[in-house]
A and B are shown apart, each in its own frame.
Chain A
Amino acid sequence: EVHLVESGGGLVKPGGSLRLSCTASGFNFSSYTMTWVRQAPGKGLEWVSSIDHSSHYLYYVDSVRGRFTISRDSAKDSLYLQMDNLRVEDTAIYHCARVSIAVAVQSGLASWGPGTLVTVSS
């Protein structure tokens, strides 16, 4: 069974940094594109960043490009999101998700973690 669990969220001041982790199990992690999606309190889903299975293709939403860095470590079956220069508007639950099709650069997001809450506030 596919299992994704995020960690690393918390309360941070504007301008601060956090590193989110997503630990994967139940599938061949190195074969799948992985994605971060966030949801601000009471708001809709926002795609944040994706990394393909080989780390060749990295994608970011404009609002985080230059501040967030996505990476993965297949030896640890883990996905990361380094978040620097955080803003109040980055406050959200951050979910990691796995695409449905192995090796595909993008497809539907078939498996999701429960999310980790990031709160940016002074």
Chain B
Amino acid sequence: DIQMTQSPPSLSASVGDRVSITCRASQDIYNSVAWYQQKPGKAPTLLVEAASRLGPGVSSRFSGSGSGSHYTLTISSLQPEDSATFYCQQYYNSPFNFGQGTKLEIK
């Protein structure tokens, strides 16, 4: 099974800051990674897939990068509405595991 190790588990930043969240896969997943945002009590929404392709209607403040086994979600110019938990997921091989999540707090 491919394990997805996500870091940091939590993050606190201010409006206007730029932050990055990292996922490291236990093997090469050939850009088969997606990133999701989940707000309390809501279903997740797709931010990025195929490592760097923005989901439909997603703000350009979000971007994905990486290759091989190392991937990053970057949020530029943080806004109050970005407060949420973020997850990565690999879809290269079953089981299509998620990372453990990163809880982002806006100061």
Tell me the A residues contacting B by CB distance below 8 Å: 35, 37, 44-47, 50, 59-62, 95, 100, 106-110, 112-115
Complex CA distance for A46 and B99, rounded to whole angstroms: 9
Inter-chain contact B98/A46, CB cutoff 8 Å: yes
Query: B49 and A100: CB pair below 8 A?
Result: yes
Least CB distance from B32 to A in Å reads: 7
Given contact pairs A108-B55, A109-B44, enumerate 18 new A-B contacts (beta carbons under 8 Å): A44-B98, A44-B101, A45-B36, A45-B89, A45-B101, A47-B97, A50-B96, A60-B95, A62-B1, A100-B49, A106-B92, A106-B96, A109-B34, A109-B89, A110-B56, A112-B44, A113-B43, A114-B42
**B62 sits at the interface (CB 8 A):** no
Chain B window 70-107, contacts with chain A (Cβ cutoff 8 Å), 1 for yes, 0 for no: 00000000000000010101011011111111000000
A-B contact count (CB 8 A): 69
Instruction: Return chain A residues, CB-CB under 8 Å to B95.
Output: 47, 59-62
Contact B49 A47 (CB under 8 A): no
A41 CB to nearest B CB, Å = 12
Give the interface size bracket for B toward A: 20 to 34
Cβ contact within 8 Å between B45 and A112 = yes
* Main secondary structure on A side of the interface with B: strand
Q: Would you give the shortest CB distance from B104 to chain A, in whole angstroms?
A: 14
Distance in angstroms between the alpha carbons of A112 and B48 in the assembled complex: 15
**Chain B residues in the interface with A (C-beta under 8 A):** 1, 32, 34, 36, 38, 42-46, 48-50, 55-56, 85, 87, 89, 91-92, 94-101
Select one of B1, B42, B98 contacting A45, CB under 8 A: B98
Q: Which residues of B contact A113 (CB under 8 A)?
A: 43
Q: For B38, list chain A residues within 8 Å (CB).
A: 45
